[in-house]
Amino acid sequence: MTVAGVRFANPVIAASGTYGFGEDYNELYPINILGGISCKGLTLEPREGNTPPRIAETPAGMLNSVGLQNPGVDTFIEKHLPFMQKKGGVVIANFAGATIEDYVQTAEKLEQTDVSMLELNISCPNVKEGGAAWGVTAESAAKVTKAVRAVTKKPLMVKLTPNVSDITEIAKAVESEGADCVSLINTLLGMRIDIKTRRPILRNNVGGLSGAAVFPVAVRMVWQVANAVKIDVVGMGGIMNAEDAIEMMLAGAKAIQIGTVIISDPYAPLKIIGGIEHYMNVNDVKNLSEVIGKVEKWQ
Amino acid sequence: MYKCGAYPVIEKTAISAGIYSYEILCPDMAELAKPGQFVHIKIDGFTLRRPVSICEIDHKNGALRIVFEIRGQGTAKLTALNVGDNIDMIAPLGKGFTLPSEIHPNKRVVLVGGGIGVPPLLAIAKVMKESSTAILGFRSYDRIILAGDFKRADSHVITCTDDGSVGFRGAVTTPLAQELAKGDVVQVYACGPEPMLKAVIEECRRNSVACEVSLEERMGCGVGACVVCACKTESGVRRVCKDGPVFDGNEVIL
């Protein structure tokens, strides 16, 4: 199957931020089992991230506020990309920035590499510089997409935030400026408070909600976006098993990304890939195109 | 290198109020495990795994022992597991303690543990035996755990309680200073609350004795990928789960 013209061995991609650069999980199984890996969100300069605690349990999910801790795009290219290219499936470089110039300069550096696809992150909720500000209005999303599009010929995926009133407007805006596909949803902004200390559990006070709890929201948004744009849609948000993956595809996702489930179960990618194959066998599905976007809505 | 899977509990003991000990039969994990490493446990109904330090490594029987305290709903649920039930875990994880290359009675190591920070030190005592002195601090006599296990491992045990109900009254740093003054201590290992770790690092620095501390932080994946558990060191931000949980006392910034 292909997404934005890039061929994937299977539709399961590790979501940015949950799989690092693949090195840590390659100790457990060959990471090329996955269709692809979206690397930890990169910035122009290295970032130390937010002060811990950066994670909290929630009903059927978790909050995180890592704050884009990453070694910077140069170190990624030098130290981590060679490993991903040698050991992994499709390499997707996720990147974020504070300013248009940050985005453009990072994209220019990635353009010089053999990365297969860029994922423009305009949706990290945890830092001011994480791009979420760019992702909340159609105008700013269009502006940053246009600027990055101008410096890269690589397939460009734009990762959208659900923390907006109408996500289809943002999707249409980035499509009109040359995005080859969109991925959604990033985390939903959330908060938890310790009732004994009366302090937020996260040192950052707020963080991004992910996991099973967000799945129905993600399905709804993927469905809306898939019906609003012509470009490919990559669905993510709370996919915990192969059934969820199929549901996300029925909503319109051509491929899926998984994240939080890997934190719970490192073997989740294998289980989901195997489960999708099993579903295809049992239901006599020859090609996933028979599933993608095939939900029949009630009139 | 680490493994992931479900392994049977072969022994379960409630060793103190709200503190449980499990022995788990996991030969492939036990073979790889080193003192100071941890297991990352999946609990039914919870998204996040719970990291628990390895308390004992039984190479002969291929088992690991963990000792943990009920902290919240997740750890409370973990206590529902009984002998014969499977425990889903990833292990052994992290960088453990650096043990001396030679064990010599005139080159002693001191283990400093506070409360639920005591368990990972037992694995060192099992190796270092009479070359180790364990200074174990607790709130009061009824909170003491594992002191007998350290004695059975031939470690010299000094018990401290905040209220003086057993042993030395007060902080672990006073007996630590006395031990370090003897001049034959080559290494200190510590695990416990942050203020205790700070005081231990300071005492070791004053005496120019090497010190390693084991840290605790809320974790995500446990294997180094999600970079949720961060700590500051002299050489930048490090991952507690992968670059630690054991850090050089002179490196870590608490």
A142-187 pLDDT, tens digit each: 999 999 999 999 999 999 999 999 999 999 999 999 999 999 999 9
Q: Examine the pLDDT at A274 and tell me if it is beyond 60.
A: yes
Q: How many CB atoms lie within 10 A of CB A94?
A: 24
Which two structure tokens, joined as six digits, stand for A226?
A: 């898939």
- The domain segmentation of chain B, as residue ranges, is 3-93, 108-214
pTM: 0.95
> b/e map of A266-278 (b: 16 or more CB within 10 Å)?
bbbbeebbebbee
For the domain made up of B3-93, give the CATH fold. Elongation Factor Tu (Ef-tu); domain 3 (2.40.30)
Contact by Cβ (8 Å): B94, B244: yes
> Which of A16, A21, A24 is the best mutation test for B, with the most CBs of B within 10 A?
A24
Nearest CA in chain A to B236: A48
Q: Name the strand (E) or helix (H) holding A246.
A: helix A242-251
A238 lies within 8 A of chain B by CB? no
Q: Name the strand (E) or helix (H) holding A84.
A: helix A81-87
Q: Residue A160 carries which DSSP code?
A: P
Q: CA-CA distance, A241 to B45, in Å (whole number)?
A: 15
Question: Helix, strand, or coil here: B24?
Answer: strand
Which pLDDT band, with edges at 50, 70 and 90, does B117 fall under?
Answer: very high
| Cis peptide bond upstream of B245, omega within 30 | yes
| Cα end-to-end distance, chain B, whole Å | 28
> Which of A31, A263, A267, A271 is the best mutation test for B, with the most CBs of B within 10 A?
A263
Compute the average pLDDT of residues A119-126. Answer: 84
Q: How far is B85 from chain A (nearest CA, A)?
A: 19
Compute the average pLDDT of residues A117-131. Answer: 78
Tell the residue number behind the tokens 């990624």, with chain if given.
A76
In chain A, what are the domains? 2-49+69-188+211-290 (3.20.20.70)
Tell the residue number behind the tokens 């870590």, with chain if given.
B252
| pLDDT score of A243 | 98
DSSP string, A96-165: --SSHHHHHHHHHHHHTS--SEEEEE--BSS-GGGBHHHHSSHHHHHHHHHHHHTT--S-EEEEPPS-SS
Q: Examine the pLDDT at A125 and tell me if it is beyond 80.
A: no
B229 lies within 8 A of chain A by CB? yes
- In chain B, residues with a C-beta closer than 8 Å to the C-beta of A264 are 42, 47-49
B220 and A40 within 8 Å at the Cβ level: the answer is: no
pLDDT tens-digit map of B131-153: 999 999 999 999 999 999 999 99
- What residues of A act catalytically? 124
Q: Examine the pLDDT at A128 and tell me if it is beyond 70.
A: no
For the domain made up of B108-214, give the CATH fold. Rossmann fold (3.40.50)
B221 and A24 within 8 Å at the Cβ level: the answer is: yes
Q: If you average pLDDT over every residue of chain B, what do you get?
A: 96
pLDDT tens-digit map of B156-202: 999 999 999 999 999 999 999 999 999 999 999 999 999 999 999 99
| pLDDT score of B101 | 84
